[in-house]
Amino acid sequence: MTNDVKTSPLDYQLSAYSYNLPAERIAQNPLTPRDSSKLLVIDNQTTHQHSHFYDLGSWLSSGDLLVLNNTKVIPARLLGHKSSGAAVEVLLIEPVDADHWLALVRPGKRIQPGAEILFGDVNQPLMTGFVKSKDEATGGRVIKLVPNENGSIDDLIYKLGRVPLPPYITESESLPAQYQTVFAERKGAIAAPTAGLHFTDSLLTKLQAKGIQTAEITLHVGIGTFRPVEAADIETHQMHEERIEVPAETVEKIRQTKANGGRVIAVGTTSTRALEGTAAICGELTPYIGRTDLFIYPGYQWQVIDGLITNFHLPGSSLLMMVSALIGRERLMEIYEDAIAQSYRFYSFGDAMLILPEAIAV
């Protein structure tokens, strides 16, 4: 899919991706059932419609393909302490090898290489973290985890850790399972692929009955997804790499869908990044296991997806810029203003948006 969305110099300025969001519009808890959320549908190049997620099937056609991210959030937030008793918070990002993890640590300035972090009871910690080195790319630390009792590191992470929620969710009463998609299978993310949170098993069954297929990729959501863009000129922003896998079965389903005239709808910016990132690395969509640091912003030439299901994103985020690359920044910001006026719920536990191919200037 070529991209003829008109761009302007403002599209490359961070300041152009700002908007005012009332605090009460930030969703603190998910809705029950999951698919009762609102769905803003951008179905052509000039207007949009208001719907609900449980009506997703009415906006899709038999032969369409939804691409889901099957990553599963791990309890990556560990509360520990130094031998002095001072509290330390560790957010595991990804494993380096069998017993070393890349992690963000607070307070970072006080936790230098050589430090030890104890997890569990002050007098009988269940696991010790030995800080080995700094990681300049993330500002984090490489930590060696050593169990102090029988059991694997993975077992102790699940015993001691908590599922990390984004910092803007401050008053949530949600259960850990509500921050997982119903199709989460492969452990490794530190944040949920939130567009997928709206799906229920029953909705997926209804979509399948209509002839709407699904395929899966894996992108383990890391800091690349949610770290803000800080460069005034967004073209100088460097994304952090995230681990992805696009299996052969998914590649074949996408090829068949396009050959049969169906539409490939990515569920979430993470699915989008995995598919487009693979095509950028390999020259075309092909089975791939590796990493991507693809940054999508206005002017990007789309190679794989035809449409997108996504949530409403933070000002100045790379995710907002990715969606702008589909329909144009000015139009997206106008739609966000309407969503706020219509009392849509924003961010991870918020409502959803569906961008159909007819809305994309090609």
Instruction: Note the pLDDT of residue 228.
Output: 85
| Order of strands across the sheet that contains 65-69 | 49-52, 38-42, 352-355, 307-311, 264-267, 65-69, 213-219, 242-246, 288-292
Q: Which two tokens stand for residue 35?
A: 């698919």
The answer as to whether 253 is a domain residue is: yes
Q: Does one domain contain both 132 and 36?
A: no
223 lies in the same domain as 278: yes
Model confidence at 337: pLDDT above 60:
yes
* Mean pLDDT, the chain, integer: 95
**Residue 315: inside a domain:** yes
Q: Are residues 244 and 298 in the same domain?
A: yes
| pLDDT per residue as tens digits for the range 62-110 | 999 999 999 999 999 999 999 888 999 999 999 999 999 999 999 978 8
The model's pLDDT over 273-319, given as tens digits with 9 standing for 90+, comes to 999 999 999 999 999 999 999 999 999 999 999 999 999 999 999 99
Whether residues 204 and 305 share a domain: the answer is yes
Q: Please tell me whether residues 86 and 115 are part of one structural domain.
A: yes
Domain boundary among 132, 160, 188: 160
Q: Give how many domains the chain has, as a whole number.
A: 2
- Per the domain annotation, does 4 fall within a domain? no
> 75: Cβ–Cβ under 8 A, 6 or more apart, which residues?
157, 158, 160, 161, 162, 163, 164, 176
Same domain for 150 and 278, yes or no, is no
Question: Do 82 and 143 belong to one domain?
Answer: yes
Domain identity same for 82 and 62: no
- Model pTM? 0.95
| pLDDT value, residue 151 | 82
Confidence class of residue 362 from pLDDT cuts 50, 70 and 90? low
Residue 2 has pLDDT above 60, yes or no: no
d(CA 100, CA 97): 5
CATH code assigned at 147: 2.40.10.240
For residues 243-261, average pLDDT = 98
Query: Do 177 and 302 have their domain in common?
Result: yes
The reply to whether 198 falls in a domain is yes
On the question of pLDDT at 262 being above 60, the answer is: yes
165, part of any domain: no
Residues 254 and 341 in one domain: yes
Name the band, by pLDDT with cuts 50, 70 and 90, for residue 4: low
Exposure string over 112-137, b if 16+ CB within 10 A, otherwise e: eeebbbbbbeeeebbbbbbbeebeee
Answer for the pair 53, 39: CB distance below 8 angstroms, yes or no: yes
Q: What is the CATH number of the domain that holds 237?
A: 3.40.1780.10
Q: What digits encode the pLDDT tens for the residues 123-158?
A: 889 999 999 999 988 889 999 999 998 889 999 999
Q: What is the pLDDT of residue 361?
A: 61
* Contacts with 86 (C-beta within 8 Å, 6 or more apart), sequence order: 110
Assigned domain for 168 exists: no
113, 134, 160: which is the final residue of a domain? 160
Q: Specify if 166 maps to a domain.
A: no
Q: Are residues 281 and 323 in the same domain?
A: yes
Structural domain ending residue among the three candidates 160, 185, 204:
160
Say yes or no: 178 and 232 in one domain: yes
Domain interval for residue 121: 77-160
Q: Is residue 275 part of a domain?
A: yes
